[in-house]
Amino acid sequence: MLKSATSETSVIGVTTLTSFMAPFLISSVNVALPLIQREFSADAVILSWVATSYILAAAICMVPIGKIADIYGRKKIFVLGLLLFVLTTLTAAWAPSMKILIALRALQGAASAMLMSTGMAILTSVVSPERRGRAIGYYVSAVYIGLSVGPFGGGLIIQHLGWRWIFMISAIMGLVCVGITFKALKGEWTGPPGQRLDLVGVLLYAPALFFLVYGISRLPRLNGMLLTLGGVALLILFFFFERRKTHPVFEVSLFFNNRLFAFSSLAALISYAATFGVTFLMSLYLQFIKGMSPQATGLILICQPVVQACLSPLAGRLSDKVEPLRLASAGMAVTATGLLLLSFIGAGTPLYHIVVILLLMGFGFALFSSPNMNAIMGSVDKANYGLASGTVATMRLLGQMASMATATLMFALFIGRAQIGPENYDRYLLSFKYTLLIFFVLCLIGIFFSLLRGDLRHVGDQE
């Protein structure tokens, strides 16, 4: 429900600008991980939590915040998220210990959840259906521009100013976005009237995700197995509980009554589970195994997201004319090929070989992401835009969380509670290889769901 008119251009500008910030910070922090390990003497598993804590907090908060935004106003939550992002990012620049840094990263994740659960919903509420694919393409492209600028820009900042300046500069960007948002974003958007927040559902969902991810990081210890099983049990309980609720915090009925939405969402989850951890692994590989500087590492890592940023708007526009199923499935197949090739690299692999593979993966993910998002948002009516936006963002975060959990598990199995160094480089390469092979298998499963989703052209716009 729109209470006051806002131009499409203003909404596209504001949402795409804010969608740049979190990816920029994520990719920059990945480049900084070796220096963070050195300063705080962190082992490989703890080091992975610098990224995992952010994603876990965002995933936990995404579902209830999406519902709160539908009830009380998406713009209110959007602005609050921006302010919290600025505050936590600025504070992280002065973190005195690894524990405090990880805690602040978790708060950043909660702030990002406020932005992600509302930005796409506001965008699709304002932009007309015939231009929706193009607008989504711009939004997704901004994410990839953030991922593109992050490794190179972050590498420069780290090498010349230190890793803490990544957070300082991100906080400044956040302040700029706050000013632009207050000036350009007019009006308010809410979901259907009469909705209520399901507190019991939230209390089941949040610990379920935490137990699951933390438990995986503790494997193969007994407490890790118990926590993981407890998380799975709570998720199953949450799923059946939500089916019986009149106002569920997570509308699981969409997954039963809308095959296009369900399979497109599952494809998104699997795609992110198979790709998100690649940058994390490659940053460590290039700096530890290849001995490259943060700046040089950023130059290599920039290859994949640059291709994604350039091609996502084109793929989005193409999905307005060509069936998204075909585009997204082809994109995931290309990504799977890249992951398989990347799993075979070693200490002596030439850099040009790595660059070619990253370019191939960038092309594949660009071809998947915008068309898949267009299929998801086009499969529901306007009253459910907030729900669909929050759901797809949750799928993305759950996929990213699964990706990092997989990498963390491989670290725990092959490296254990030790810092990454010359004495265990061979074990790091084994964890690298097996993680990417798992990602490859996930992509194959994702192609299956992508092909089974159905035809968006037969659904039509349910506005």
User: What one-character-per-residue DSSP string does 408-456 give?
Assistant: HHHHHHHT-SS---GGGHHHHHHHHHHHHHHHHHHHHHHHHHHHHS--H
Tell me the mean pLDDT in the region 204-209: 88
- Lowest-confidence pick of 10-24, 54-68, 120-134: 120-134
- Compare 124 and 193 and report the one with higher pLDDT: 124
Q: Give the residue ranges of DSSP H helices in 73-198.
A: 74-92, 98-126, 129-160, 164-184
- The span from the CA of 416 to the CA of 461, in Å, is 51
Cis bond upstream, residue 96 (ω within 30): no
pLDDT of residue 2 exceeding 60: no
- The span from the CA of 186 to the CA of 195, in Å, is 23
Percent helix, percent strand, percent coil in the chain, to nearest 5: 80, 0, 15
Q: pLDDT band at 390, cuts 50/70/90?
A: low
- The span from the CA of 40 to the CA of 37, in Å, is 6
Cis bond upstream, residue 220 (ω within 30): yes
In the chain, what percentage of residues exceed pLDDT 90? 27
- Compare 34 and 249 and report the one with higher pLDDT: 34
- Lowest-confidence pick of 7-21, 335-349, 432-446: 7-21
- Compare 423 and 215 and report the one with higher pLDDT: 423
Distances in whole angstroms, Cα of residue 434 to Cα of each of 170, 279, 292, 356, 439: 33, 15, 23, 21, 9
Q: pLDDT band at 177, cuts 50/70/90?
A: confident
Residue 186 belongs to what H/E stretch?
Answer: none
- The span from the CA of 278 to the CA of 298, in Å, is 14
Question: Side chain identity at 276, as an amino acid letter?
Answer: F
DSSP 8-state secondary structure symbol assigned to residue 348: T
- pLDDT per residue as tens digits for the range 88-102: 999 999 999 999 999
pLDDT value at position 311? 85
- The mean predicted confidence, pLDDT, of the chain is 83
Burial status of residue 77 (CB atoms within 10 A of its CB: 0-12, 13-18, 19 or more): buried
Question: Side chain identity at 380, as an amino acid letter?
Answer: V
Distances in whole angstroms, Cα of residue 10 to Cα of each of 14, 24, 52, 371: 6, 22, 33, 23
Put simply, whether the predicted model's pTM sits higher than 0.75 gets the answer yes
User: What one-character-per-residue DSSP string does 37-75 give?
Assistant: HHHHT--HHHHHHHHHHHHHHHHHHHHHHHHHHHHH-HH
Ramachandran angles phi, psi of 53, nearest 5°: -60, -40
Alpha-carbon 222 to chain mean position:
30
Question: Side chain identity at 204, as an amino acid letter?
Answer: L
- Lowest-confidence pick of 126-130, 243-247, 403-407: 126-130
- Compare 338 and 268 and report the one with higher pLDDT: 338
- pLDDT per residue as tens digits for the range 23-80: 888 888 988 988 999 899 888 888 888 988 998 898 888 878 877 887 888 888 988 9
Tell which phi-psi region holds residue 396, choosing left (phi > 0), alpha (psi between -120 and 50) or beta. alpha
- The span from the CA of 432 to the CA of 342, in Å, is 9
pLDDT value at position 143? 76
Bridge partners, 189 (sequence order)? 2
- Compare 6 and 291 and report the one with higher pLDDT: 291
